[in-house]
Each structure stands twice: as structure tokens, then as C-alpha cells.
Chain A
Amino acid sequence: MSYKGKGVKTNVNFNTKHLKKGDPLPPYNGKLRLYNMRHCPYAQRINLVLLAKQLDYEVVNINLRDKPEWLTAKSRFAKVPSLEIAEDVCIYESLVIVEYLDEVYPQRPLIPKDPLKKAYDKIIIEAIAPVQSFIFKLMISPESITEDQVVAFHKALKFVDEQLESRGTRFLDGSKPGFVDYMIWPWFERMLTFKEKDDRAAIDGQKYKLLAKYADDMLQDPVVTQYLVPKNIFFQMLDDNKAGKPPNYDILLEPAK
């Protein structure tokens, strides 16, 4: 069975209302559909890949605090991202979705063909786990960050910096971003924004020379730029978290303040 979508770039609307309990399931219309949350870094991975491959798809945003009743039919563990590749045929877990897409849609291949290079891309993705925890804590409970977590965070940054050095290319996967670049990007994007509020998130350009330049190069990538969230929106979300307010998922829908 072939689930190939059209290879045409369209202006995908990411900023739709986050559906919640009581909201009906939008009828399936044959397009690749991503069950998403606009600010989720894991779901962002899928958007980056779909945009890189210029695939036609639609986004159904989900209110993760008040999930619609039909979500478990589309994502067994009620998590985002979930990719509906045919009606009621869904794949979840962000890396699993990306590997599936890269195999089924060969345009702009992202994953290296060589087994050793592929292995090292995956090693880097696993290696940034301390960066993911660190960013998560910065958003939710910055006071609870421990010394060990800071050390692990820096060890991970050092590893990526060393990989950039040994590969000798502009991006980890070559002259254009590839699999590992897009998979780790969501957290680097958040670090670049958060450093203005908490300097523990800063990538020290003296300590990590290549990494700092790399992050800036990624920021200009045409795929990355399509999904960026304005800084003021991010800061608003951080402030809401600090004030103990529930997340305002639809903040991007509201008229610019």
C-alpha cells in the first residue's frame, strides 16, 4: 500500500486552535495529518521534516491539558506527535515518525545512508537528553536545577561541539541540515531564546566555538524559519508558567499585542 502524498509545498497553517474535550474530530481528507501542539519540541521535529521534504500535510493541534476524547484513537498513549498516514493508521514517537517519513518519501533524504554515520547521528540525538531535561526544567521549575544537571548539560554541548569539529561541515549532516540537525534543533532554538531570561541557557561562544556558530546558521535555515515562534510569545509563556497559570496554547492565534 502506498501512502505517498503530493510533493508540493503549500503554506501549512500551524497556528490553528488547539482542540480540547468536546471539540469534534476534523474529518479526514486524505492528507498526511499531524496531531501536534504548537510549542512541543518533540512534535516540532515532525514539522521540520515535513517542511524539509516539502510534503503537503495538515496540522491538528491538541490541547494537552484537556485532551479530546478521540485522541487515543489517533495516538494510543494520547501523546503528540502522532502522524496519520491513512485514515486511522497512525504512527507515534517522534523519531519513529521521522524515520518512517524518510524511508517512504525519498525526496531530500535526511538520514545518512552509511550505517556508521547513521549510528553517530543517532548517538548525538540520544546524547542531548541532558539538554532536553535542562530546557524543560528552565521552563517549568528553574529553581530545581541541580549542579549535576548543569554538568551533564555542558557535557552534552561539548559532545556536539566535538562532533562538529570532527565532521568539519557547516551542519552535522553536511552543507545542509539533515536528520540529526533537525532532531536536536528544537532544544537549541529554545536555548537561544531563553538565554535572554536565564544565562544558564547560553551557549558560551568561547567555550563552544563551533556550536555557537552552528546554532546561528540553523536559525537561518529556510525550514527552521518557517516554524519559529516570536520571542515575545515564548517569554509570555514562561511568565505564565512562573505565575502558575495553565498554558495558553492558542497564544499565536491571538492578534499581535
Chain B
Amino acid sequence: MSSFRVFTPLTQVLELVLPYRNMGSKALKGIKKINFNTKHLKKGDPLPPFNGKLRVYNMRYCPYAQRTILALNAKQLDYEVVNIDLKNKPEWLTAKSYFAKVPSLEIAENVCIYESLVTVEYLDEVYPRRPLLPKDPLKKAFDKIIIEAIGPVHTLFYKLIMNPESLTEDHMTAFHKALTFVEEQLKSRGTKFLDGAEPGYADYMIWPWFERLLAFKEKDDRATIDGQKYKLLTKYINDMLEDPAVSQYLVPNNILFQVMEGYQPGKTPNYDLLLESE
């Protein structure tokens, strides 16, 4: 199946995709709820047959994949989730995601887009309802700058999970510099969310890490966002928690901690904890 994607010129692929683009309204969700908590498929598990819906190859706890989910939720699109066991990947994954990573967005059978920000920018362009990216080029540029600027927040979270002893003074300084930058952006924009009265691109793309910091401050106070030092940021995080696109995808803290413990050396994460608790 990978040969189809690799050797067919993009122009031919577009003929398949265009009908999907024009039927954008078909993808709009009714009140149907998306099932996020499906079994994480592994080697030996068959590929679920494609049924015409937008499909996200996901991992329930991956912050990058969560970006795609948030955009789909915000735009109220109908889609399905295929969760992947990243420690024991199914054989067919590389046909759906060349580098075997999540997220990957299947927009038509065997036509897949990956890299989290690329999937979201694609969705925003093709499904114009509830636009997420600012139209103004300078505002759009600054949204993207914020997204890049929180790199040190990603690093802090990653190290807290994998190797907390390797966190240095420099990491903490960079982390606080990034938080200060977001705080300043909130101040200069003067709106409830970075992108205005409702969350937009920058808000959803940075959210997954703030969600995890909120949980992990219970485990390690280096993850704490000081309410005195970062007044606007603290309020902003609480406002984001109540956003419908965000709240439908939240994970209970105890589950998150259990999964993340599985990332320590010698252990394996149990991705299907949310299945078990239903």
C-alpha cells in the first residue's frame, strides 16, 4: 500500500482528495460522540478497514497527537480514532505514517498527512468552519512564534517523565523564560485567550503541555506555574480547561500518572488504562 502513496504523482492523488474537500459539510458532526478510548493496536492486530471518515492514528496520551484531536474537536468534525501501541507498532503503520509516528491524519484511503502542526494547518485550510489560524499575516506569524517558543516547556515535561534527575538549572531558566513570553503575549493581546474571545491556533497547539504541567505539579513542584509570578497565564490555563474542545479529551490525573510511570527504564506503559476503567 505504501507504493501507492509513494509512486503516484500528487496530481493523481488530488483527484481523490478533491471530492472530500467539496463535501466538507458531510464531515460536520451531529451530536455524535467520538470514541477516543479504543484499544491501542499493536503488531499482529489488523488494520481497521477504512470507512470514508477522517481518521487520526493516535496515542491517547501523546501531546502532539492531542493537537490534531483538539483542532478536529474545535471544528466539530466527524472523525475516528485509531490508537497505536507505540512500543509495539503494528506492521501497517508505516503505510499510514512514513516515519511510523503519531499523529497521522488519513484524509482519503491511504492518503495521509503527518507532523502535528502540518495536520492542523491542513484541516484549517480545508474545513473553514471555526477558523483557528489568524488571517492577518503578522498575527499568524506571532501565533507560530509562540508555538516554537514553548520548546523548553516540551523539554521540561519530557524530562520529568523520562529522567527527572537530568533537569538542569539551564532547563529551568529556559522553561521560565518561555512562560514569561506567553504571559507577555497574553498581556499585549489583552484577550481571554491568545487568539481572542475563543481559543484558536496558538491556544490549542500549546495546550497539551499546560494540561500535563497542571497534573504533574502534584508530583514535582518544578512543574508548578506560580500564580503570583504568572497571573494572566494561571487564569488562562483555568479558562482553557473549561473549553469544550479541551474538556472532552481530558484524562484523570491518576490515569495519566500511571501511564507515564510506564516510561521509566525497564517498564512498559499501559496505554489501555482508560478502557479498563470504563
Interface-lining segment among B6-14, B85-93, B216-224: B6-14
User: CB distance A166 to B8 under 8 Å?
Assistant: yes
Q: Is A108 an interface residue (CB 8 A)?
A: no
Inter-chain CA distance A117–B12, complex, in Å, is 12
Task: Chain A residues near B140: list those with CB within 8 A.
Answer: 99-100, 103
Residue of A nearest to B114 (CB): A123
Contact for A166 among B10, B21, B121, B142, CB less than 8 A: B10
User: CB distance A91 to B126 under 8 Å?
Assistant: no
- Expressed in whole angstroms, the minimum distance between the Cβ of A244 and any Cβ of chain B is 22
User: CB distance B10 to A116 under 8 Å?
Assistant: yes
Which residues of A pack against B, CB within 8 Å? 76-77, 85, 89, 91-93, 95-97, 99-100, 103-104, 114-120, 122-123, 126-127, 155, 159, 162, 165-168
6 pairs, CB–CB < 8 Å, chain A vs chain B: A77-B177, A93-B144, A116-B111, A119-B121, A123-B113, A126-B118
Q: Is B148 an interface residue (CB 8 A)?
A: yes
Known contacts A123-B113, A123-B114; decide if A159 and B9 are in contact (CB<8 Å).
no
- Expressed in whole angstroms, the minimum distance between the Cβ of B8 and any Cβ of chain A is 7
Residue of B nearest to A162 (CB): B6
Q: Is B149 an interface residue (CB 8 A)?
A: yes
User: CB distance B7 to A116 under 8 Å?
Assistant: no
Q: Is B125 an interface residue (CB 8 A)?
A: yes
Inter-chain CA distance A104–B9, complex, in Å, is 30
Known contacts A76-B181, A77-B149, A103-B137; decide if A165 and B7 are in contact (CB<8 Å).
yes
Task: Chain B residues near A93: list those with CB within 8 A.
Answer: 144-145, 148
Known contacts A93-B144, A93-B148, A120-B10; decide if A100 and B118 are in contact (CB<8 Å).
no
- Expressed in whole angstroms, the minimum distance between the Cβ of B11 and any Cβ of chain A is 9
Task: Chain B residues near A115: list those with CB within 8 A.
Answer: 21, 122, 125-126
Task: Chain A residues near B17: list those with CB within 8 A.
Answer: 116
Inter-chain CA distance A99–B118, complex, in Å, is 13
Task: Chain B residues near A165: list those with CB within 8 A.
Answer: 6-7
User: CB distance A119 to B122 under 8 Å?
Assistant: yes
User: CB distance B7 to A166 under 8 Å?
Assistant: yes
User: CB distance B115 to A167 under 8 Å?
Assistant: no
User: CB distance A119 to B99 under 8 Å?
Assistant: no
Task: Chain B residues near A119: list those with CB within 8 A.
Answer: 113, 118-119, 121-122
User: CB distance B145 to A91 under 8 Å?
Assistant: yes
The A contact surface, by secondary structure, is helix
Task: Chain B residues near A95: list those with CB within 8 A.
Answer: 144
Q: Is B50 an interface residue (CB 8 A)?
A: no
Q: Is B141 an interface residue (CB 8 A)?
A: yes
Q: Is B158 an interface residue (CB 8 A)?
A: no
Contact for B121 among A77, A122, A159, A167, CB less than 8 A: A122
Inter-chain CA distance A91–B142, complex, in Å, is 7
User: CB distance B6 to A122 under 8 Å?
Assistant: no
Task: Chain B residues near A126: list those with CB within 8 A.
Answer: 115, 118
Inter-chain CA distance A115–B144, complex, in Å, is 18
5 tightest A-B contacts by CB?
A96-B144, A115-B125, A103-B137, A122-B118, A100-B141
User: CB distance B13 to A116 under 8 Å?
Assistant: yes
User: CB distance B122 to A91 under 8 Å?
Assistant: no
User: CB distance B181 to A166 under 8 Å?
Assistant: no
Residue of B nearest to A1 (CB): B138
Known: A93-B145, A119-B113, A162-B6. 14 other contacts (CB 8 A): A77-B177, A91-B141, A96-B148, A100-B137, A103-B137, A116-B10, A116-B14, A116-B111, A122-B121, A123-B115, A126-B118, A127-B99, A155-B99, A166-B6
User: CB distance A100 to B10 under 8 Å?
Assistant: no
User: CB distance A96 to B145 under 8 Å?
Assistant: yes
Most buried by A among B99, B107, B177: B99
Task: Chain B residues near A104: list those with CB within 8 A.
Answer: 137
Most buried by B among A76, A91, A119, A120: A119
Task: Chain B residues near A167: list those with CB within 8 A.
Answer: 9-10
